[in-house]
Amino acid sequence: MPNSPIRDKINPMEQRSPTLRNLAWLWFAIAVAVLVVGFREAIFLVPSDAAQGDVGRIFYYHVPIAMWSLLFPYLNFAASLAYLYWRNRDPLKALTADAFALASAEVAVVYTSITLITGSIWGRAAWGIWWAWDARLTSLLLLWLLYVSYLMLRRFSSTGQTQTLAAVLSVFAAVDVPIVYMSIRWWRTQHPAPVFFGGPDAGMDKSMLPAFVWNIIGWGIWGIFILLFRFALERRRQIADQDAALQAIEASLEIPQ
């Protein structure tokens, strides 16, 4: 096993490279800094919305997070395909792909949850209702359900099979996402319902742009940070598992290695 830390006598739970650790801290600091600037812009600096007043400021959180939440399912799909491809060809690469798939699914669920919750709060404050079955909300809810079911499968399946089964489910979910989007949109054009959040062309005044841009960049950097952090965590768990298995095998051998 070329990468096994056991051979190098290094504790696998420690970060093996200080460069990566410093980079991670730097990235974290950048994320926090951008988000702080974004907070100041969104809450204090940009003018409040003419129609909604200060309630509308949640827009600068809700929309960037909603936009980023649409990215992570694709990352999960790509990683799952990579896992299925490498599964029998290069198991170590497959394991890495699987760790990335798990991390991106979790971040997808987190970001989608935040979108749903902030959207709900905003809806209640601005329009008086917590929820509506319009096209956008329903599609996002279904996306959330799909990736929660992915995480459920990972939790419930038996250990040897988890990765393959989860990768297969990820393919199903990824194929389902455009189908969900199109069918729900057709459903709602058939029975038009009020369009919330002002519709796709809701104008945003130029003066509001800084808050939006800072927040979209900030939440993107943060999303990448937690994705890679979770990925690293999962990789360490996998390596620890592998080493434990190796130790068990070596302990069972009669000839000392």
Task: Pick between residue 169 and residue 239 the one whose CB is nearest to another protein.
Answer: 169
Looking up tokens 């319009």 gives 134
Task: Pick between residue 178 and residue 200 the one whose CB is nearest to another protein.
Answer: 178
49 pairs with which residues across the strands?
Answer: 53
Contact segment (CB under 8 A) with another protein among 99-107, 119-127, 157-165, 228-236 equals 157-165
**Shortest reach from residue 235's CB to another protein, in Å:** 22
Residues 177-196 close enough to bind another protein by CB under 8 A: 179-180, 182-184, 186-187, 190
How far is CA 217 from each of CA 132, 170, 205, 214, rounded to the nearest angstrom?
29, 27, 19, 5
- Give the DSSP per-residue string, 155-172: HHS-TTTHHHHHHHHHHH
Task: Pick between residue 29 and residue 171 the one whose CB is nearest to another protein.
Answer: 171
Q: Interface with another protein includes 66 (CB under 8 A)?
A: no
Task: Pick between residue 142 and residue 217 the one whose CB is nearest to another protein.
Answer: 142
Start-end of H helices in 72-129: 72-86, 91-127
User: Rounded CA gap, 81 and 89, in Å?
Assistant: 13
Q: What's CA 71's distance to the chain center, in Å? A: 8
Q: For another protein, which residue of 6, 32, 75, 148 counts as binding (CB under 8 A)?
A: 148
Please report, as a single letter, which amino acid is at residue 132: A
Q: For another protein, which residue of 32, 70, 145, 240 counts as binding (CB under 8 A)?
A: 145
